[in-house]
Structure 1
């Protein structure tokens, strides 16, 4: 009986460690999938076909490459779905740093996920309008371009929540040392940059004048932070567990 009582906590610790490694693998693989899908959807499709301020050129390019555009839209929808298990996996992984804080971080990521889903709806409506889909009536390319702009802002609002999610993760890392402290600070910087960019777009009428600068402010820390975080997740997920000492 004493041996059984002594080994129960050890077994529970092993089960928890295995669950956290599995969560790290899920989150890491999810991040890899999101990187591939988002690069395709945003840079290959959206930025190449949607021309801000030029409704006619946007309508012409989208109509000429409708299959590609629908592929990009589908990629955004898949990203929307993948983010749900990632939010759960990160909650499980960071739960030892504080259940309530980990849950709060997961909720902010889910808010971002919901806003991405809303943005995808705007993207679909824009497609219908620029291609003269059913029910569009006399509305045309101008209304379609407005929907694409609505996509941009809905995504930006979501990225504000995503930035808070990164800041919360970073603070948990710094406080708990679950991951390298430098990674925690990098996530905090990236999350802050996302928030500042959304506020700048919202508050500044002449945001276009600083758009290139803000792009670098957001892009550099976010790429470094999220790529480093992905590598850490994958390494953590496939790291061989330590052999537990036998309890006599």
Structure 2
């Protein structure tokens, strides 16, 4: 097998791995965010704490869904680094590092959910001064998780902008996907900055930009995984 053949196969396999990793993530965190958390988060801290107490399995499932997503993120960061290395090895590595930084902050945020699980698993409510103290502790960690993850998404938005630039420069990927990823990255950045700097401004309309990632995922699965005739440039 020649070096060129090996490189071509590596690009195809990297595209397939990245696409499969992204596909699995579509089935994990969205389920936690749009089904589990709406079921658990109540109108006040007491209702939320009681919902989690009464649905420990559902809450622990949300933790493991986030963990699976983090593992997939690592896989995708590695696969896309390989897939885009022919464009620029150094810039592709820098881009991958931004995703790894996002993963690290997301993991730190996830520890807040683990602390909530620790409260409801090992600490009896009677050990708190009152029900309100227990509920406030749960709410504090839940809010901390949300804010820390929102901050992680700011880094993820920057990552998508860098990824979009690489994809736009890649001769073996349609440039439209680079543009879509860049728009998605800007959507993440603006939406997250709004949470911290302009909390009264509704930026939910920017969620439509996030579909650029899904479109790119489909291309990786059905087109990128079939790359055979691209000649990798000498590094």
Once residues 96 and 47 of structure 1 are traced to their aligned partners in structure 2, the CA distance between those partners, rounded to angstroms, is: 43
Aligned partner of 1:179 among 173, 178, 185: 173
- The equivalent of 2:88 in structure 1 is 98
Quote the Cα distance in structure 1 between the aligned partners of 2:114 and 2:61. 11
TM-score, normalised to structure 1's length?
A: 0.84
Closer/same/farther in 2, CA of residues 55 and 132 from structure 1, 3 Å limit: farther
Cα deviation for residue 38 of structure 1 reads 1.1
Flag the 1:141–1:133 CA change in 2: closer, same or farther, 3 A: farther
After TM superposition, the structure 1 stretch with the greater mean CA deviation from structure 2, 38-47 or 172-181, is: 172-181
- Structure 1 residues 75, 132: closer, same or farther in 2, change over 3 A? closer
Query: After superposition, what is the alpha-carbon deviation per residue over 1:15-42, rounded to whole angstroms, capped at 9, x for unaligned?
Result: 1111111111111000010000111121
Correspondence for 2:215 among 209, 221, 228 = 228
Q: Are 1:37 and 2:25 counterparts?
A: no
- Contact 1:38–1:75, Cα closer than 8 Å, also in 2: yes
What CA distance in whole angstroms lies between the structure 1 residues aligned with 2:116 and 2:170?
45
Aligned match for 1:25, one of 11, 16, 22: 16
Q: Indicate yes or no: 2:97 matched with 1:107.
A: yes
Query: Alpha-carbon deviations, 1:193-224, whole Å to 9, x = none?
Result: 111122121123xx1x33xx31221x1110x2
Larger radius of gyration: 1
SS of 1:158's equivalent?
A: helix
Structure 2 partner of 1:162: 156
Q: Which blocks of at least 5 consecutive residues in structure 2 are unaligned?
A: none
Aligned to 1:14: 5
Q: Which one of the candidate residues 127, 136, 143 is aligned to 1:149?
A: 143
Taking a change above 3 Å as real, the CA distance of residues 235 and 165 of structure 1, as seen in their structure-2 partners, is same
Cα distance in 2 for partners of 1:190, 1:66 equals 35
- Which has the higher relative contact order, 1 or 2, with Cα contacts under 8 A spaced 6 or more apart? 2
Please give the per-residue CA displacement for 1:87-129, whole angstroms capped at 9, x wherever unaligned: 0000000001101110111001111111111111111212333
Specify whether residues 30 and 132 from structure 1 end up closer, same or farther in structure 2 by C-alpha distance, changes over 3 A only.
closer
Seen in structure 2, the aligned counterparts of structure 1 residues 54 and 102 have a Cα distance that, compared at 3 Å, is same
| CA distance in 2: counterparts of 1:47 and 1:181, whole angstroms | 38
Tell me, in whole angstroms, the C-alpha distance in 1 between the residues paired with 2:124 and 2:144: 19
TM-superposed deviation, 1:164:
1.0
